[in-house]
Each structure stands twice: as structure tokens, then as C-alpha cells.
Amino acid sequence: MNIIAKKTGVIDIIEIQGRIDGLTAAELKLAIGRCTDAGVRLLVFDCSAVTYISSAGLRVFIQTHKSLGLIGGKMILMSVPGAVKEVFRISGMDNFMSFIESLSEVESSENTVETITFTDEPELEGITFEIRVGQGRKGRIRPLGSSALLEHAAYTSGDVVTLPQHEIPYSAGLAVLGNEFEDYQNLFGEAVVINHRFFSYPAVKRPFVDFSGFIPENPTRLNFLTGFGFTGDFSRVLKIAPQVGPLSLDKLLGAAGKVAEENLFGVVILAVSGGISGMHLRKSPVKSNNPAQSDIFDDVHFAEWMNFPVDSEDIHKVFMAAGLVVRDPLLLPAHLKPLFPVNSRQHLHAVVFENGLLSQDITEFEPELQRVMAEFEAQKVVHLLSSTLLQSGFIGIINLESV
């Protein structure tokens, strides 16, 4: 068997030549792993030169279909010869797998790239986006825990929401890894989940970034006091075109709202900072840390509980963020309004990495997310404020259902 991995536009293709059997299945599985580890979520197998497939080969495709499905991905079998396709039919796999004859049957919009410049609105004037248009499925929001107890740091073990890592591709909130509340109760801090990878910044005197990679079969537990998660695929990826000086996050997300198709949408940002404005907890907001249940946001107690630098920090650092944006808060359903800070149209958490270089190729957005998480050192996680400045980078948009 010969395997050739290639890319056409933004579509990743594995071309297979020869037999897929017990002798070659492991080699195919390794090639698939290299693609998915690099962030590939739409994988097309060119089977036009496949001469035979055994049960061992079928097993590889079943495992790939399952693992990609867990993380919102998809595999497609293209140009499968009649005799080989009959094996899929007999096995019943033709009932749940996607077969096409040519790449023209893959959504053509996956390859569409256009440019937009905002000229008619003074507050957005001069912003230019290069836009990669897709047909990503709309996502759903999952509120996690409650923000009602945060003000008085009154959380107990009964308030923790625990869920397996594979269920939550994107999230922001106060969270921690662990199995027993007694062991992790003093470690809750700002956390963010991006493509199922979990980063948290424990609220201790000398914080460090805790991180969990992602293996679909690994039952890692994520514990939330408050926050949200969301699913879905990117409907648009925006590349921030070179500007005269950095632009504020608030301004860029306002422009992104003009491109998004829904009033409520999720964003995933990969960018180089022009100055990060953020905040994070100094103490875990559990009841045992605040027996008097005083207001932690009161001027008297704020400095004890929150790290909130007056000046922006981390210029030229790479950062990655995930969160929610709403164009018109008045249109939000009542149960989703608590997910946003008062008088804010966005709620994002960001993991700040070391200095580094990012690709400027808009088709490489997803692989760049994976590369940065795998190769860059994470330094902290913060609640991201709208005054944060971006020099360059990308904004991925996921349209969300407001129900």
C-alpha cells in the first residue's frame, strides 16, 4: 500500500493505493493520526486506487469516523471502486458513512475566500478582514453552573458541574481538573477550552497554567463552578488585515458581528497581542475561603480577590481565546443573559503564550491552533477585557442557536 497526504484548498486528502488489510492498516492509522493531530477535522480519503479492503481496513475507517465525530469532524470516502464499495455495503457501513465520486461534491464554499473593508460605519472604519467562508453547522450553548454565587464566593461541592472532556469542544469559565472536591476546591480559577484542550489558572499565590490535552477515549473530568460551553463548526474565519497600529478587541468583535449570521455567536481567536487587558482570581471563590460571604467585588475586598492590572500587559505575546459575543443583548433569551458580564456584549477567556510567530495563511487557522497549543508555552489564563489590543491574527466564528 502507498499513502499520499495532500491538501486541495482547505480540504485535506489521504490518497490510498493498493490493499488495505492486516499488514497495512496500522500504516493507514498512523497517517490518519498525523492529520488529526495537526488539527484536520474534514478528511477526504481518495480510494480510487484501492484494490482490496479487509475487516482490518474497515476497522480503521470505523474508528476514524467515530473519533472525528466526537470532536465535530467528518470523514468522506471518495471514488471507491465498485468491488470495494460492496464490502462497505455488506458490512452496513454505507448506512452511516459519506461517499462521493469527486471533490466537486464537497461543499464548494469550503474553498471560498473573500475580502471585506468597512467604510460606511465610523466606529468600524478602516477595518479589513480576509474571510474564509464555510458551511459549518450551527452550535448550541450549554450554561455551566451559576454566576449567582460568585459575588459572595459562596460555592460548595454541590454547586460543581462535572463533565467529561470530550463533551465540550469550546468553553470559558471558572474550572479545574480533578476527581475529589476536597483536593481541588482551592484551585478554581479562570479556564478556557479550545478544541477540547483545557487550560486553567489556579487561584493561588504562585499560579501556574494547568493543561489537559485531548484523547477521545480518555475520561478526563472538567469541574466548573460557573461558565458555559458551546459546540459547532466555523462558518467564517476572519484574518485581521495589516493595520496602522493595533485594534481593540471591542472594535474587531463589533466588525465580526457584521459578518456573523446570528445575533449570538461563539468566537475562537488566535492572535498576536498589542497589549492584553485581563483579570484573574487570586483566591478560589468557594465558601470556605469566604466564611463571612462578603462581596468580593466591593472596593474593600477587590484587591484581595482579583488581580486586575491597571495597564495592559503582554505586548507581542501570542494568545488564544474562546467565548461568546452578542450583537443585541435585548434579543437574548433570559436564561442566557447571566452568561455575559453587566453592560458587556462579550465574554471571553484567553490563554496567553510566549512570544512566537504565527502563519498568515487563512487556510491554516485550525492547524495553527493545534500547533500553538502543542509547541508554545502557556503562561497564564485571564478573563479577557474589551480594551485588549490585537496586532494581527484570526477570529473564527461559530453561529449559535439562542434557545
Q: How many CB atoms lie within 10 A of CB 81?
A: 14
CA–CA distance, 160 with 226 (Å, rounded to integer)? 8
pLDDT in tens, 212-255: 998 877 779 999 999 999 999 998 999 987 666 789 999 999 99
| Residues contacting residue 292 through CB under 8 Å, at least 6 positions apart | none
Do the beta carbons of residue 267 and residue 348 sit within 8 Å?
Answer: yes
- The mean pLDDT values, 10 residues at a time, for the chain of 403 residues are 83 92 94 82 92 95 84 84 92 85 68 73 79 81 95 96 93 96 96 96 94 84 97 91 79 92 95 95 96 91 93 91 96 93 94 90 88 94 96 94 74
Q: How many CB atoms lie within 10 A of CB 344?
A: 14
**pLDDT at position 242, please?**
63
| Residues contacting residue 402 through CB under 8 Å, at least 6 positions apart | 262, 263, 264, 331, 332, 333, 336
- The 3-state DSSP class for residue 268 equals strand
- H-helix or E-strand spanning residue 178: none
Q: How many CB atoms lie within 10 A of CB 67?
A: 18
What 8-state DSSP symbol labels residue 69?
H
The domains found in the chain, sorted by start residue, are 2-106 (3.30.750.24), 114-399 (no CATH)
Q: What predicted TM-score, i.e. pTM, was given to this entire model?
A: 0.76
Q: 278 pairs with which residues across the strands? A: 384
pLDDT in tens, 365-403: 988 999 999 999 999 999 999 999 999 999 999 999 876
Residue 251 cell numbers, joined: 472594535
Do the beta carbons of residue 197 and residue 168 sit within 8 Å?
Answer: no
Q: 326 pairs with which residues across the strands? A: 264
Torsional sign, CA 36, 37, 40, 45: negative
Three-point CA angle 110, 111, 112, nearest 5°: 100
Q: How many CB atoms lie within 10 A of CB 330?
A: 7
Residue 279 cell numbers, joined: 483579570
**pLDDT at position 73, please?**
72
**pLDDT at position 13, please?**
92
Q: Are strands 98-100 and 112-117 parallel, antiparallel or unpaired?
A: unpaired
**pLDDT at position 362, please?**
87
**pLDDT at position 112, please?**
65
Please choose, from the candidates 382, 384, 364, 383, the residue with its C-alpha nearest in 3D space to the C-alpha of residue 372: 364
